[in-house]
Amino acid sequence: MAQRTTLFVNLFVLLTIQLFISGVVSTSFTILNNCDYTVWPGILSNAGVSPLPTTGFVLQKGESKTLTAPTSWGGRFWGRTHCTQDSTTGKFSCVTGDCGSGKVECAGSGATPPATLAEITLDGHGGLDFYDVSLVDGYNIPMMFTPQGGTGQNCTNTGCRADLNDACPSELKVTGVDGGAGVACRSACEAFREPQYCCSGAYGTPDTCKPSSYSEIFKNACPRAYSYAYDDKSSTFTCASVNSYTITFCPSPTTSQKASQPQEGQNTENANPSPHSAGAGSGTGTMIYEGALDEEINGSPSTRPHVLGFQGLAGLISVTLAIWQLWKPFF
């Protein structure tokens, strides 16, 4: 009987370890549409990472949707606007943020610039989540990225509340199908395709690629968002122990806030620049972070505590009870 009890305990321990390894720890993302109009969120997972249950869907005004991502997931979120479906061919397309799939689901395709991007890598170096809101590929919609809880000196909300479509220079402005009001604002890289704007060629390092008059328009309006490729010092954020994030389109106060009225405070915690996705068509890029980044922020590498969530605990109890029922006749 003692041997059977020992075997039962060993099985229990092995199952517990397996549940931890198989990813019972997860992070949820709630996408909220606070705009006065419909938004079609798109999602792209990083290369080599399993996709989320959906890669695109519709949110009417005031609607939200919550998705669960496994440990170490990474990817980007964005909002598509002015979308329609062809009554003859059934093809789905959007004026801004279109992913080119012809459907509401993006199915592995990224956003066509210009598009405001929310990017994140879970459980990165030191167990930290690395996240940002990027205007490197241009801007199409106000967006905020907010951790719910979490710890760390640089763990805070980031994004862009301002309406850059109104303030966009004419040479960067994208207008609607009727040629009227601006619906998006291109990056200088996409508009002019020149190395000094794209941080490429001879301008491919932090020392040679500097902010331009165009990227500074974005930065002045949205101090915490990426405005060009090497804008890491004030635009990369890190958190530990976050169970959920909220991505809000058109965050309050209102979408009519102008670019001359920035609401996000400047943040200069990160001191080590690293290459960010740059230029038009970089929708399949991934964020890159140097290992020393979080050590400079917090003094030493942090570890993210992996605590069993309710689903993992319920699964563990269920499996344990099942094994107990099988072994019960032998005790």
pLDDT of residue 328: 55
pLDDT of residue 290: 29
pLDDT of residue 31: 98
pLDDT of residue 232: 86
- The larger pLDDT score, comparing residue 196 to residue 275, is at 196
- The larger pLDDT score, comparing residue 117 to residue 18, is at 117
Please classify residue 23 by burial: count the beta carbons closer than 10 Å to its beta carbon, then call 0-12 exposed, 13-18 middle and 19+ buried: middle
Question: Which residues are CB-contacts of 49 (< 8 A; sequence separation ≥ 6)?
Answer: 72, 73, 74, 75
Beta bridge partners of 129: 239
Q: Is 6's pLDDT higher than 60?
A: no
Distance CA 114, CA 183 (A): 10
- As a whole number, the mean pLDDT across the chain is 79
Query: What's the average model confidence in pLDDT over 242-264?
Result: 67
- pLDDT above 70: percentage of residues in the chain: 69
Distance CA 78, CA 97 (A): 7
Q: What is the pLDDT of residues 260-277, one digit of tens each?
A: 333 444 443 343 334 354
pLDDT band at 252 (very low <50, low <70, confident <90, very high): confident
pLDDT of residue 177: 80
Low-confidence winner among 49-63, 86-100, 124-138, 171-185 (lowest mean pLDDT): 171-185
pLDDT of residue 264: 47
Q: What is the pLDDT of residues 48-78, one digit of tens each?
A: 999 999 999 999 999 999 999 998 999 999 9
pLDDT of residue 253: 57
Give CA angle at 138 (168, 228), nearest 5°.
Answer: 105
What size, in residues, is the chain?
331
3: helix, coil or strand? helix
- 143: its two tokens: 């967006």
Distance CA 131, CA 120 (A): 4
Going across the sheet that includes 244-249, the strands are 64-70, 26-33, 244-249, 143-148, 158-160
- pLDDT above 90: percentage of residues in the chain: 64
- Does residue 330 contact residue 18 with C-beta atoms inside 8 Å? no
A 10 A CB-CB count for 331 gives 9
pLDDT band at 280 (very low <50, low <70, confident <90, very high): very low
Please classify residue 112 by burial: count the beta carbons closer than 10 Å to its beta carbon, then call 0-12 exposed, 13-18 middle and 19+ buried: buried
CATH fold of 26-253: Thaumatin (2.60.110)
211: helix, coil or strand? coil
Query: What's the average model confidence in pLDDT over 18-44?
Result: 82
- Does residue 277 contact residue 60 with C-beta atoms inside 8 Å? no
Of the CA atoms within 13 Å of residue 32, those in its CB half-sphere come to 15
pLDDT band at 244 (very low <50, low <70, confident <90, very high): very high
Q: What is the pLDDT of residues 316-331, one digit of tens each?
A: 444 445 545 555 555 5
- The larger pLDDT score, comparing residue 247 to residue 16, is at 247
pLDDT band at 10 (very low <50, low <70, confident <90, very high): low
Distance CA 44, CA 29 (A): 14
Q: Which of 248, 187, 251, 250 is nearest to 217 (CA)?
A: 187
pLDDT of residue 179: 73
